[in-house]
Amino acid sequence: MGIDAPVVPIQVSPDAVLDPPRNAEDVGWWDASAEPGREDGRTVITGHTVHTGGGALDRLREVSRGDRVDVVTDEGRMRYKVQQVRVLGKEEVAEDAEDLFGQDDGSGRLVLVSCTDWDGTVYESNVVVVATPLGQPVAQPRDGTARAARAR
């Protein structure tokens, strides 16, 4: 997938919707979720899919079970293995929100979310990728900017 994008903190809107970053080329880390590399909770990262191209997560739906996803932070490179790729309708995401995004029992999982199923007017679904950590972060020199995931 080869995403190399700035990660910006994002929040949940007053109507309980996770607002993706304003810039379609950025990815957003939900600041109430676990930081990458934490052993508890879930790290929730979201980004835009743009039907004409240019969204940071345009190709998220191409990720497959077993792929490796790396998230690079100031702490180093955190490696994850994709366990599940699901396409869920908007209502399903709302119904499953606690299971998908809840912080009580996440075992350090990574959850990536973007829109999919463009109907010519709106995106009808979300693609949700769940990955489990492969050990501790691997240290590497950093420039002080968190960067997005790379899937292989």
- Mind telling me the catalytic residues? 48, 115
**Which amino acid, one-letter code, is at 84?**
Q
Q: Give the number of other CB atoms < 10 A from CB of residue 147.
A: 18
Q: Which two tokens stand for residue 23?
A: 């810039």
Yes or no: say if 128 and 100 are a contact pair by the CB < 8 Å rule.
yes
Other CB atoms within 10 Å distance of the CB of residue 123: 17
State in Å, rounded, how far the first CA of the chain is from the last one. 7
- Beta-bridged to residue 78, according to DSSP, are 71
**What's the angle, vertex CA 25, arms to CA 22 and CA 27, rounded to 5?**
70
Radius of gyration of the chain from Cα atoms? 14
